[in-house]
Amino acid sequence: MNVSSGPALSNGTSAASTAVPDADADTDADAVPGVRVRPPVVDACSLVYDDAGWRVYLHRLGENAPEYLDVFSASFCRYFGAAHTAYRDALAARWQDAVDVLLPPGRPPFDLAAHLADRQRQGVTGEFAMGSQERLPDGRTVNDWLLETVRDVRDRVHVWAGLSLRDPAAALGELERSLAAGATGLCVIPFLDGTDPADPRFAPVWDAAAGARLPVWLHTGHHFARSHPSGLGSWRTVETLAGRHRELLLVAGHAGWPDVQEMLLTAARHPGVFLEFSSHRPRHMDKPGSGWQPLLHHARGMARDRVLFGTSTWVNPAPTGSLADELTALPLPADVTTAWLSGNAEALMARAAGAGPRD
């Protein structure tokens, strides 16, 4: 959860996809000349929760990185439809009260059919839904709820079970349990645990993930938790893990921003490393000082097959389809845009399923 363009300014929950003008675009019998049609989208960093899950998510932030509830106050209020003034007043007293403002009693229950319909409107054909090892009031983990909720639509919603590294044995047990229940990936956020993923104590977790071909989404780069060093989850972490565990598939969440060049070079050295840029708006990427120039510069080369599109769901003001349109509008070849929006994510899923060679 990091951003290069500051907190979001507005929100949207659904919007039709748009075509992007492109003088060089190929056309067919059904296409409008001079218009590039956006490819299908796979959201490689999605959050799919009911209110109990969101409360656990927000409480985990409040307990371990309360700065997020402050820095992203406008984004949270926009996403949950809460009054910003009331939220700020509550936050000044207790962060728990601010969470209550976001999640008051009487909110409509989570509707999977409505969620899937919105994904279809946005052009999203698949998503990697990030879970959590945290417990819900009924005793289940968020991972349990997510796996059960999307059981019949796992071709569209791929569950990446969340792990906490504070207890290595418990993390390994959760990995094995989630794998047996149908998880197809893992999610680890070091700054929320205050742990270094490269610590040798966690080697059994990474060995198990590699052996099961479970890709790991790892939060990398900048974070706002002042109680933990910024180096937790840096490109050096990814470099160390990839070097020790050669068959481990690693997705560098947020692409290690602002150290995008270093993360990209790490991916160039290790064929199991991918970059995912959720929380960052594509429309800012080609602006001077954005930090994304290395990705665009190498888009036709080493970055072409290593980059995934993601959203983080609540962070940005625009709906998924609009964010995908922003990527399509960048000065990139159509084949690169297609690879980043969905092709590379689909290839990663196939590789995790055993369709590709081990490294």
Q: Which of 16-25, 234-243, 315-324 has the lowest mean pLDDT?
A: 16-25
Instruction: Give yes or no: residues 128 and 188 share one domain.
Output: yes
Instruction: Give yes or no: residues 133 and 232 share one domain.
Output: yes
Q: Could you report the per-residue pLDDT of 181-205, keeping only the tens digit for each?
A: 999 999 999 999 999 999 999 999 9
**Contacts with 113 (C-beta within 8 Å, 6 or more apart), sequence order:** none
Nearest to 72 by CA among 326, 324, 312, 321: 312
Q: Could you report the per-residue pLDDT of 115-152, keeping only the tens digit for each?
A: 999 999 999 999 999 999 999 999 999 999 999 999 99
- 188 forms beta bridges with 163, 218
Nearest to 218 by CA among 154, 240, 227, 226: 240
Residue 129 is assigned to a structural domain of this protein: yes
Dist CA 340 CA 310 (whole Å): 10
Which CATH number fits the domain that encloses residue 186?
A: 3.20.20.140
Structural domains counted in the chain: 2
- For residue 220, the one-letter residue type is T
**Are 286 and 305 contacting, i.e. CB atoms less than 8 angstroms apart?**
no
Token representation of residue 151: 């059981």
Range of the domain at 84: 51-109
Instruction: Give yes or no: residues 134 and 175 share one domain.
Output: yes
Residue 87 is assigned to a structural domain of this protein: yes
Instruction: Give yes or no: residues 335 and 189 share one domain.
Output: yes
Confidence of residue 12 (pLDDT cuts 50, 70, 90): very low
Confidence of residue 292 (pLDDT cuts 50, 70, 90): very high
Query: Residue 52 burial by CB count (10 A; 0-12/13-18/19+): exposed, middle or buried?
Result: middle
Dist CA 260 CA 31 (whole Å): 35
Instruction: Give yes or no: residues 132 and 214 share one domain.
Output: yes
Residue 10 is assigned to a structural domain of this protein: no
Residue 23 is assigned to a structural domain of this protein: no
Q: Could you report the per-residue pLDDT of 204-229, keeping only the tens digit for each?
A: 999 999 999 999 999 999 999 998 88
Residue 171 has pLDDT above 90, yes or no: yes
Instruction: Give yes or no: residues 56 and 145 share one domain.
Output: no
**Are 307 and 280 contacting, i.e. CB atoms less than 8 angstroms apart?**
no
Residue 45 is assigned to a structural domain of this protein: yes
Residue 266 is assigned to a structural domain of this protein: yes
**Contacts with 50 (C-beta within 8 Å, 6 or more apart), sequence order:** 109, 110, 145, 149
Instruction: Give yes or no: residues 58 and 157 share one domain.
Output: no
Instruction: Give yes or no: residues 72 and 192 share one domain.
Output: no
Instruction: Give yes or no: residues 190 and 323 share one domain.
Output: yes
Instruction: Give yes or no: residues 140 and 277 share one domain.
Output: yes
Residue 318 has pLDDT above 80, yes or no: yes
Instruction: Give yes or no: residues 60 and 195 share one domain.
Output: no
**Are 274 and 236 contacting, i.e. CB atoms less than 8 angstroms apart?**
no
